[in-house]
Amino acid sequence: MSVQEYLNKHMLSRKIEDAVNAAVRAKSPDPVLFISNHMRKAVPSVITKIKARQILDSRGIPTVEVDLFTHKGMFRASVPSGDPSGMYEALELRDGDKGTYLGNSVNRAIKNINERISEALVGMDPILQSQIDQAMIDLDKTEKKGELGANAILAVSIAACKAGAVEKEVPLYKHIADLAGKTNLTLPVPAFTVISGGKHAGNNLAIQDIMILPIGASSFGEALQMGSETYHHLKAVIAEKYGAHGCNVGEDGGLAPNISSIREGLDLVKEAINRTGYNEKIKMAIDVAATDFCKGTKYDLDFKSPNKSGQNFKSGEDMIEMYKELCADYPIVSIEDPFDKEDWEHTKSVLQICQQVVGDDLLMSNPKRIERAIHDSTCNALLLKINQIGTVTEAIEVVKLANDVPWGVVISHRSGETEDSFIADLSVGLASGQIKAGAPCRGERLAKYNQLLHIEEELGDHAIYAGEDYRQCL
């Protein structure tokens, strides 16, 4: 017997003896169950097995799902996916075989988890999130996680985070708060997508989303009610004006009537809000996603209309004037990606127009680009997409960067989502103040909103809804 084996044996014997003595002292009616529970708490759990598989996301495209096992049970996580935005984000690993799922299958990422990542992590304590994430980063050895795949690494990172919470016997959001050094658990203001356009819908609307923010609600539950009621009133408004076919939805669940102008969409939403009677309690936001229709130094607002494309080009100055007029005429409090991802100067100008300017394609959750934007005062809010960075630990670190400025933080879903509700707990644990999880319809979107209802109920009298402080929940 080796020294380590001898120590392990005698430490276990000591823990069994302690458990028996505790059962005697407690005069337990079921000493076997008491001893079992006592031992479970006494013996630290470790990762015993990791198994991955390929599943489909909300668009019917393959993604990665992981089951991570410890002595406390099995913990499942799946990762979202979006349209790759460029060279600055962590890389998804896909197989590229056009004969299988049109090249989108993720069998190489699955193999990396089942073989290389599993071998590296089995035996580690799931509480040690940063060590687990660093072990995978070190194993990958590339800047953008291209060897193992950010989709492989993130799935394991999230599963480990869930296991760590159970090991500590705390809710997932509380474990995340502990990892981030946060004490103020906060329910976020939801940015509900109500009209979809851009690449996410088949209409002629150039911008990607028109959203509503129920900042005047007194609780998250009331905010969800406001969002749902507005959404259904909007369906009625659209059906009256365009017929039932106008109520088709985009990838994120937003309604997608065949409109081509931003004003037309905002007018529809404004009428829906009026019908709810909430009025001042609900603000608007737009995700322009301007990179998608930037042509050199011009912006083609008719890029989705073949007959008109090229006829409605706007310069950067034209776009700024348009944003000024929209913010004057509608209760818009947030604009996301108003210009191309490399158009830093024009983006900076929008800070004088709108309360919040959110960087998505501009930042790509990349620490270096975030630091540049902070230094240059380019925007004042971070859109965090965890699959763009690749681990829970790194997501926490970039949120700390944003908090230090301080910026607003929006935890975001992706166009390709799963039923995993992790970002709901992430938003509460990091006290982000804002979450963007799509429309108040479709199961993969509602999984996040319904989890926030669960969290609010669990927190009870301690539940705090960000409301009008949605930008300053630090």
Tokens of 452: 């926030």
Residue 350 Ramachandran class (φ > 0 left, ψ -120 to 50 alpha, else beta): alpha
Pick the catalytic residue: 385, 420, 425, 436?
385
Triad 463, 466, 472: Cα angle to 5°: 130
252 given a catalytic annotation: yes
Report the relative pairing of strands 294-295 and 332-336 from DSSP bridges: unpaired
The DSSP-derived string for 157-174 is HHHHHHHHHHHHTS-HHH
Residue whose entry in the numeric block shows the structure tokens 């989502």:
417
287 is in an annotated binding site: yes
17 is in an annotated binding site: no
Residue whose entry in the numeric block shows the structure tokens 């429309």:
439
CA–CA dist 430, 399 (Å, integer): 8
CA contacts within 13 A on the Cβ side of 360: 27
Tokens of 95: 């197989």
318 given a catalytic annotation: no
The answer to whether 337 and 318 are in contact (CB under 8 A) is: no
Residue type, 52: A
Pick the catalytic residue: 209, 252, 343, 420?
252
CA–CA dist 21, 127 (Å, integer): 28
Q: What is the DSSP letter of 280?
A: G
The DSSP-derived string for 86-149 is -TTSPPP-----TTSGGGT--HHHHHIIIIIIHHHHTT--TT-HHHHHHHHHHHH-STT-TTT-
CA–CA dist 262, 297 (Å, integer): 21
Reference 459, options 245, 266, 187; nearest CA is: 187
360 is in an annotated binding site: yes
The binding site consists of 287, 336, 360
The binding site for Mg(2+) consists of 287, 336, 360
Active site residues: 252, 385
